[in-house]
Amino acid sequence: MKHPKHRLLKLALAGVLGAGSASALAVPTMLGFKTYDSNGDGKISLEEFQAQGGPVKAFHDADINRDLQLDTDELVNASVHNERILSGKYIEDAWITTKVKAMLLKNDIVKGLSVNVETTQSTVQLSGWVDSVAQIAEVENVTRNIEGVKHVRNDLLIKR
């Protein structure tokens, strides 16, 4: 059995790492192991984990002994893995936004236009005002060619 201070440290770390997330997994200790363990067998199956909003990748990454079940320590690890997954997606989205803005500034057709760029889960939303239909098409084309962009939502409007 692990030392109680070690377990407390892991729980505190999971709480700190999960504080900024809206995920149901952010702080599993707040929900309680029993919330996940719906059948009361003392272990959490993948199905039980997913029923509480847990992603498959976090489950498998945290299942250290590879028994396809999580114990209390592994549930804390699942929370940490989930936070890593979420923060990686946030960083990727920020990188995509930055790259799109930089490429639009370099583009002679759309340079200097007031185009707003927001990225969520690799989907880029474009909004703002441009001078022509050709500029709308060019902004969208530049955006679609950025590595990591999965979808483009083009809400650009022509100035009148």
pLDDT in tens, 44-97: 899 988 888 888 888 888 888 999 998 888 888 777 767 766 666 667 888 899
Query: What pLDDT does residue 17 have?
Result: 43
CATH number of 4-87: 1.10.238
Find out whether 154 and 128 touch, Cβ atoms under 8 Å. Answer: no
- Adjacent-strand bridge partners of 127: 116, 155
pTM tops 0.75: no
pLDDT in tens, 9-30: 444 444 444 444 444 444 444 4
CA pair distance 111, 100, nearest whole angstrom: 12
DSSP letter for 54, please.
Answer: -
pLDDT in tens, 25-45: 444 444 577 888 889 898 989
**How many Cα atoms within 13 Å fall on the side-chain side of residue 92?**
15
Find out whether 101 and 77 touch, Cβ atoms under 8 Å. Answer: no
Domain ranges for the chain, please list them: 4-87, 107-158
Find out whether 115 and 143 touch, Cβ atoms under 8 Å. Answer: no
Query: What pLDDT does residue 57 have?
Result: 82
Kindly give the interhelix angle for 4-18 and 72-106, rounded to the nearest 10 degrees. Answer: 30
CA pair distance 140, 100, nearest whole angstrom: 10
Helices in the chain by DSSP H: which ranges? 4-18, 28-31, 33-36, 46-51, 56-62, 72-106, 133-144
The more confidently predicted of residues 108 and 1 is 108
